[in-house]
């Protein structure tokens, strides 16, 4: 079968590999897989992996075969939870399956999902209703992680939230904040096109990074934001998020910063009593919420998918994902 494999930093190819479906797992045929920043970081070597490695962690597919006793049946459409876990340790037993120290992420710590057919234990599969448009399903995994990362912060009609970075995840966060009832959301990005899109998806105001402090100050009567979601994953944007956050506010660092890091503005964090959140991956319940949100039509997902490539053209797909000209780039069979 075809699979997208990296054999070293920067090296990527679609190759033929043996199709190994482990006994006791469900065989899932790829329908839509998403390329995201994590895949680019794994490919670049910024996130360590072992070679050769099949990339990818965002996928929805069709069940091809099931082991005896499975609840799912052939033909079912499923989302894969890519956070592998052991199901036996103290973290798994306390429901923190996504943090399991014996687990990890498909496509980084284990072979991933950019392959024609993969074998997945049934407990990592979530049924996806046929009502959700096929391309939209390619965003359900990311949406699940956005749901998870907002779980620790409350929002209300009084909330002024800011989303720094309006790529796919930032635009999902913006919509999710609105769906959860946040009164006003301000979107921050350099891209004019994304600012326009954010406005059409419900942003109260938008700003470039240079304008952000002025816009947030004015909108909040000088108080700063109640909540800032950082959806880029650089030190500069984390610092900007802290800057935009008001007294007693929350900063959710959704983007993954891979560097060792410079220093944080500790005294500013103390003075403002900012709570920093560093969410990671998602729990099974978050994926159920993500699927429900899409099923109920509460998220506009179609405008976030801007390109589709077959697995054979993975190099072109990764180039498109890296170009900055696209939102979600999907791989198909
Ligand atoms: Zn991802
Ligand atoms: Zn565990």
pLDDT attached to residue 126: 98
CATH of 2-144+282-332, one of 3.40.190.150, 3.30.365.10, 3.30.420.40, 3.90.180.10: 3.90.180.10
Give pLDDT tens digits for 149-182: 999 999 999 999 999 999 999 999 999 999 999 9
pLDDT attached to residue 259: 77
Q: How far is the CA of 281 from the centre of ligand 2 (A)?
A: 14
Distances (CA, A) of 299 to 180, 192, 291: 11, 22, 10
The mean pLDDT value for 296-311 works out to 98
Q: Nearest ligand to the C-alpha of residue 38?
A: 1
Residues of the chain with pLDDT > 70, as a percent, come to 100
CA-wise closest residue to 102 among 114, 88, 85: 85
Q: Nearest ligand to the C-alpha of residue 146?
A: 1
pLDDT attached to residue 238: 97
Give pLDDT tens digits for 52-74: 999 999 999 999 999 999 999 99
List the structure tokens of 240.
């900007």
Torsions phi, psi of 37, nearest 5? -55, -35
pLDDT attached to residue 164: 98
Instruction: Give kind and range of the element (H or E) at residue 135.
Output: helix 134-137
Q: How far is the CA of 94 from the centre of ligand 2 (A)?
A: 9
Average per-residue pLDDT for the chain: 97
List the structure tokens of 276.
């920093």
pLDDT attached to residue 34: 98
The mean pLDDT value for 237-248 works out to 98
Q: Nearest ligand to the C-alpha of residue 104?
A: 2
Q: How far is the CA of 59 from the centre of ligand 1 (A)?
A: 10
Q: How far is the CA of 172 from the centre of ligand 1 (A)?
A: 13
Q: Nearest ligand to the C-alpha of residue 281?
A: 1
Task: Please give the radius of gyration of the chain, using alpha carbons only, rounded to the nearest integer.
Answer: 20
pLDDT attached to residue 270: 97
Q: Nearest ligand to the C-alpha of residue 90?
A: 2
Using 50, 70 and 90 to split pLDDT, how confident is the model at 10?
A: very high
For residues 237 and 255, the answer to whether their CB atoms sit within 8 Å is yes
Full-model pTM: 0.96
Examine the pLDDT at 263 and tell me if it is beyond 90.
no
Q: At what angle do helices 140-150 and 168-179 cross, to 10 degrees?
A: 60
Q: How far is the CA of 38 from the centre of ligand 1 (A)?
A: 6
Instruction: Give kind and range of the element (H or E) at residue 54.
Output: strand 53-54
Q: Nearest ligand to the C-alpha of residue 87?
A: 2
Q: Nearest ligand to the C-alpha of residue 95?
A: 2
CA-wise closest residue to 38 among 112, 127, 137: 112
Q: How far is the CA of 9 from the centre of ligand 1 (A)?
A: 18
- Domain boundaries along the sequence of the chain: 2-144+282-332, 152-277
Q: Nearest ligand to the C-alpha of residue 255?
A: 1
Q: Nearest ligand to the C-alpha of residue 101?
A: 2
Instruction: Classify burial at 270, counting beta carbons within 10 Å of its beta carbon; exposed 0-12, middle 13-18, buried 19 or more.
Output: exposed
Q: Does domain 152-277 have CATH number 3.40.50.720?
A: yes
Examine the pLDDT at 260 and tell me if it is beyond 80.
no
Give pLDDT tens digits for 28-46: 999 999 999 999 999 999 9
Instruction: Classify burial at 128, counting beta carbons within 10 Å of its beta carbon; exposed 0-12, middle 13-18, buried 19 or more.
Output: buried
CB neighbour list of residue 23: distance below 8 Å, 6 or more residues apart: 67
Q: 217-221: which pairs have CB atoms within 8 A and are 24 or more residues apart? A: 219/160, 219/184, 219/186, 220/160, 220/246
Q: Nearest ligand to the C-alpha of residue 254?
A: 1
Residues of the chain with pLDDT > 90, as a percent, come to 97
Q: How far is the CA of 145 from the centre of ligand 1 (A)?
A: 9
Q: How far is the CA of 279 from the centre of ligand 1 (A)?
A: 13
Q: How far is the CA of 180 from the centre of ligand 2 (A)?
A: 31
């Amino acid at each position: 079968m075809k699979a997208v494999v990296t054999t070293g930093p920067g090296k990527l190819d679609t190759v033929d590999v043996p199709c190994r479906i482990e006994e006791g797992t469900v065989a899932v045929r790829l329908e839509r897989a998403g390329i995201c920043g994590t895949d680019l970081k794994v490919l670049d070597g910024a996130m360590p992996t072992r070679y050769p490695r099949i990339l990818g962690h965002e996928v929805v597919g069709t069940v091809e075969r099931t082991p005896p006793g499975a609840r799912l049946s052939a033909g079912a459409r499923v989302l894969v939870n890519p956070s592998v876990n052991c199901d036996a340790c103290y973290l798994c037993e306390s429901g923190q399956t996504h943090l399991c120290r014996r687990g990890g992420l498909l496509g980084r710590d284990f072979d991933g999902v950019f392959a024609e057919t993969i074998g997945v234990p049934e407990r990592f599969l979530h049924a996806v209703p046929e009502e959700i448009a096929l391309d939209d399903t390619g965003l359900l995994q990311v949406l699940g992680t956005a749901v998870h990362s907002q779980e620790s912060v409350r929002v209300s009609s009084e909330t002024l939230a800011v989303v720094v970075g309006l790529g796919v995840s930032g635009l999902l966060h913006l919509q999710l904040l609105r769906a959860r009832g946040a009164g006003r959301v301000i979107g921050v990005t350099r891209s004019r096109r994304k600012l326009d899109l954010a406005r059409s998806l419900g942003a109260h105001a938008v700003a470039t990074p240079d304008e952000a402090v002025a816009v947030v100050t004015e909108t909040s009567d000088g108080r700063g934001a109640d909540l800032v979601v950082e959806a880029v994953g650089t030190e500069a944007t984390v610092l900007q998020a802290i800057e935009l956050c008001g007294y007693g506010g929350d900063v959710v660092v959704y983007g993954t910063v891979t560097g060792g890091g410079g220093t944080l503005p500790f005294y500013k964090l103390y003075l403002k009593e900012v709570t920093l959140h560093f969410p990671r991956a998602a729990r099974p319940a978050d994926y159920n919420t993500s699927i429900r949100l899409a099923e109920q039509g509460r998220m506009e997902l179609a405008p976030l998918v801007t390109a589709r490539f077959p697995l054979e053209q993975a190099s072109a797909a990764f180039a498109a994902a890296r170009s900055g000209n696209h939102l979600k780039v999907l791989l198909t069979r």
